[in-house]
Amino acid sequence: MAVDRNYFQTKTSGDKKNQHKGETGPTMVGDEYSDSALMNYLGARKTTMLGNNFSEYHVDEPPRVILDKLEQAGYRVVSMTGVGQTLVWCLHKDTL
């Protein structure tokens, strides 16, 4: 079954020592299930962190800049939340 990719999730992580760090990026914008054309549009690089058996896409820009780019691709923020020291955005694209 083909499923449109209408939901998008992005996040940035601070750390307890430097709560401000996360806001300047990097921003995590995808994983191995992500649309590679969209990852390319965002200029994201694919990385596999040591000890992980899965890949992620990151960009160096802060989340707000990524949200602006994603809006041009049709996505809008539905909700934002914090979990631990990480700030997460859930975006959605309407496909009429």
Where does this chain bind its own copies (CB under 8 A)?
Answer: 3-9, 13-14, 16, 18-20, 23-24, 31-33, 49, 51-52, 54, 56, 61-65, 67-69, 71-72, 76-90, 92
CB 9 within 8 A of CB 83: no
CB 25 within 8 A of CB 57: no
In the complex, the smallest distance separating the C-beta of residue 27 from its own copies, rounded to whole angstroms, is 12
In the complex, the smallest distance separating the C-beta of residue 65 from its own copies, rounded to whole angstroms, is 6
In the complex, the smallest distance separating the C-beta of residue 46 from its own copies, rounded to whole angstroms, is 14
Place of tokens 């921003």: 27
CB 22 within 8 A of CB 12: yes
- CA 67/CA 51 separation, integer angstroms: 29
Residue 4 vs 37, nearer CB to its own copies: 4
